[in-house]
Amino acid sequence: MSLWNKVTAELVDIIEFADPSRDTLVHRFERYGNEIKYGAQLVVREGQQAVFVNEGKLAEVFGPGAYTLETKNLPILSTLKGWKHGFESPFKAEVYFVGTRQYLDQKWGTQNPLVLDDEHFGLVQLRAFGNCSYSIVDAAAFLREVVGTSGSVDTGVVQGQLRSLIVTRFSDALASMKIGVAGLVGQQGEMAKAIEPQINADLAPLGIRLGQFTIENISLPDALREEIFEYSRLNRVDIAGLTRLKAAHAVENISQHEGGNASLGGDLAVGLAMASNLGNVLDGVNQGTPAAAGYFVALDGQQQGPYTVAELGALVQQRRLLADTLVWRSGMKDWVRGADEPAVAGLLAQLPPPLPAG
């Protein structure tokens, strides 16, 4: 430092710091040789603490207010320096201003996608984003664990460590809560509540505490998101009712067809019968008979299959699957007659009865 700086430092008797950036966590007050005049004025603003350090040891901590630096309000520093009868000459000490206010709008997010093993969709990649705020609640711990010998520390220093902790705890929560990807959106608040105490436990040794923590968005690949939406809609659809509605619209269109004739009327009757029987089959599906179940059929003395219900319909039309033909699917104890299985019986009902003798 130049001679002029040394002289002006001797004249300065106010120790204070006003943060122009609002991002400074710690600022060391610079004085020539770290010399502070006896009787100097210390000004600590709201949202700050001033920490005096003597030869690497934390001494005094001052909260918001204005202080005249004398022996009576520097008892620990007096002890460290061995002042038995007070002092009147400049003394050496480092002064750190530590921001204790809430540091808001701290963004966090996953730099790389996390992998979740979902029981329905398999391995899924997802990303998460959110916001948080924090404050320094233990200035001494923060100086020891984070600041060290740095003269200035801003929010960027904490941001990386904070993001890493949040992502780690978020990943742990996904595994422990066992939430499928389809339910993640509705569980964001619950997940945030579960994660916040764990993050605070990790931050406590650093003297930091979260003020708020939110999970704003959980992002899935576009194709998977569309598949989940379709899956959700299908779970809420009354398949049988939807089929009957479509059949009714088809019947209406046929009835309005220009140039209708007897053949058209016959087609209309067949269409009505098929729609009714198909509805009965789907009613059985909604009551517990799986439409896509694998059915095994005893044909020509041999077990054949598995067949879907649609494929069974083809066998019925070919008259290979009859009322007495034995069928079986997963979940059934024994083989049963086709006429005794609801899904098959609905298909058999579509066949016309035998022609009368004569």
At 27-73, the pLDDT tens digits run 998 876 667 888 889 999 999 999 988 877 888 888 999 998 877 76
Cα atoms in the Cβ-side hemisphere of radius 13 Å centred on 105: 2
> 168 to each of 110, 172, 202, 291, 301, how far by Cα in Å?
10, 6, 11, 43, 60
Tokens of 265: 């009327």
Q: Tens of pLDDT along 208-247?
A: 999 999 999 888 888 877 777 666 665 555 555 555 555 6
Distance, CA of 103 to CA of 107 (rounded, Å):
11
Distance, CA of 310 to CA of 350 (rounded, Å):
13
- Least confident interval from 3-7, 112-116, 138-142: 3-7
pLDDT at 10 over 60: no
Q: Could you tell me what percent of the chain has a pLDDT over 70?
A: 72
* pLDDT computed for residue 351 by the predictor: 78
Bridge partner list, 62: 50
- The domains found in the chain, sorted by start residue, are 3-99 (no CATH), 103-226 (3.30.479.30), 239-348 (no CATH)
Residue with tokens 């924090």: 134
For residue 11, what pLDDT band results from cuts at 50, 70 and 90? very low
Secondary structure letter of residue 351 according to DSSP: S
Over the range 204-243, which residues count as b (16 or more CB within 10 Å of their CB) and which as e? eebbbebeebebeebebeeebeebbeeeeeeeeeeebeeb
pLDDT at 137 over 90: yes
Evaluate whether 144 touches 119 at the Cβ level (below 8 Å).
no
Helix/strand/coil for 265:
helix
**Which comes out higher in pLDDT, residue 263 or 29?**
29
- Least confident interval from 204-208, 210-214, 264-268: 264-268
* pLDDT computed for residue 318 by the predictor: 86
* pLDDT computed for residue 284 by the predictor: 47
Q: Is the pTM of this model over 0.85?
A: no
Single-letter amino acid code for the residue at 97: F
Distance, CA of 240 to CA of 255 (rounded, Å):
22
Single-letter amino acid code for the residue at 249: H
